[in-house]
Structure 1
């Protein structure tokens, strides 16, 4: 059982709550969230922004644990949707000056927006209701298929995993089916043969809008405009955003 320091005026649970509230309602702006929640009496005691940041970094493992635990709640279904979205570290013109990440591995391209970006790519598996069940962050230049096996291994046997055209690969479809009994069903390209089972095409049209809605929510929450001085702080804000996604207003 986790216990907060007896000298702390604000318990650790409220520190995590501030981070999640900042992701949901304040575009991951921690200083603004701390001030508003504190001045309006939502916290049990006093805490300033510097102390909040130090304590939040110490609770990084708990943020990851909460995000993973929430994902396990949605693993009982049979239908899941996978997609990736850009998480830039800085503007591309400033990539050479960036000290958080370096190299061409972090120079990526977003086909949906037809633009280049510098940073990370968040790979996400969701339920049809929009609950994130598994996630992974890779350098932006890595292909969408890179973390696919690692993400799909947690899904229940017999599940169907729908994706966009980036996930077309006969070898990966066969290996995932053999290893995990999960059927990967990506949208076929125009020059490819359609799926043998006609219901796959119908379900693709039905469930693909789910991940697009989640991506739109992330953009509104500011996930594509995160600011952090360190990679640890960047990861904390990404985890808080994943926890905040299932929260409905």
Structure 2
């Protein structure tokens, strides 16, 4: 993972092969670095755990990329390319869409600052979607920020994600899921218990929502061990996003910047999975392995 330029060239080559048809907004003056090259550099940095733009530009100093784009311009263009990066992620994940009809849904906290600083923090304070106080049952802790909702298949490929303030309950994300999925099994944790939504998902999109029962529920039945094992896949994915891709470290000041950072990390995650499976013919979820 130590050769940024070689990794960049591998990622750019595959992006060119799979996503060159995706269009972006026209620019009057053609930049030295194209949008696709900028995204390839961004994904490479995320894969290599380079979470700071200052560190990234130190790494490319003296290489072929040195002088092709300024740091401030890179930051501004990257934020504007949020829809473009999301289309690339959708294109990559669609390559795996026919492999399974079993999906897992879960959420993870996105802390923007410590609770002690929340009252005086200006991060995302002027945005339409404002941060809020929330509680993470898995970590048994309160936090201030947002919640990332995500759906991946049983192989670990992310197919959908969204953001909400931290105080929004997980079950509300199921309203979005029924528009994007159909004829599938969806496995969740106890945060998604809702008989009404379970029935609505099945009637609307033939989605079979399967969640473990609470022990105090009437006619309690143990959750299927096979489904419990499958559900651990998304927990591993989130752990990898926190560990290698540093998704739990926020350096953004606006929600647009935060959303762009997160979509870049998830797209980079999917890009490495794509390369592992289709190019290098190796284990899908070995994300720390060298590309070159």
TM-score by length of 1: 0.88
Which residue does the alignment assign to 2:20?
none
Which residue does the alignment assign to 1:245?
269
Bigger Cα displacement from structure 2, 49-58 vs 29-38: 29-38
Unaligned runs of 5+ in 1: none
Q: Is the 8 A contact 1:168 1:186 kept in 2?
A: yes
Which residue does the alignment assign to 1:147?
173
Counting only pairs closer than 5 Å after superposition, residues 97-112 of structure 1 correspond to structure 2 as 97-102=120-125, 106-112=132-138
Counting only pairs closer than 5 Å after superposition, residues 1-249 of structure 1 correspond to structure 2 as 1-2=23-24, 7-41=30-64, 43=65, 46-76=68-98, 77-102=100-125, 106-157=132-183, 159-192=184-217, 193-194=219-220, 201-220=224-243, 221-246=245-270, 247=272, 248=287, 249=289
Q: 2 CA distance for matches of 1:4 and 1:140? A: 37
1:24 positional shift: 2.2
Q: 1 CA distance for matches of 2:160 and 2:57? A: 29
Bigger Cα displacement from structure 2, 96-105 vs 12-21: 96-105
**Aligned-residue RMSD, C-alpha:** 2.3
Q: 1 CA distance for matches of 2:72 and 2:152? A: 34
Q: Is the 8 A contact 2:124 2:130 kept in 1?
A: no
Q: 2 CA distance for matches of 1:106 and 1:141? A: 6
Q: 1 CA distance for matches of 2:62 and 2:149? A: 37
Bigger Cα displacement from structure 2, 57-66 vs 204-213: 57-66
Q: 1 CA distance for matches of 2:49 and 2:256? A: 20
1:207 positional shift: 0.2
Q: 1 CA distance for matches of 2:87 and 2:28? A: 20
SS, match of residue 215 in structure 2: coil
SS, match of residue 223 in structure 1: coil
Q: Is the 8 A contact 1:23 1:241 kept in 2?
A: yes
State the number of aligned residues.
244
Query: Structure 1 residues 36 and 65 mapped into 2: Cα distance closer, same or farther (>3 Å)?
Result: same
Bigger Cα displacement from structure 2, 18-27 vs 177-186: 18-27
Q: Is the 8 A contact 2:82 2:260 kept in 1?
A: yes
1:47 positional shift: 2.0
SS, match of residue 171 in structure 1: helix
1:194 positional shift: 4.5
SS, match of residue 156 in structure 2: coil
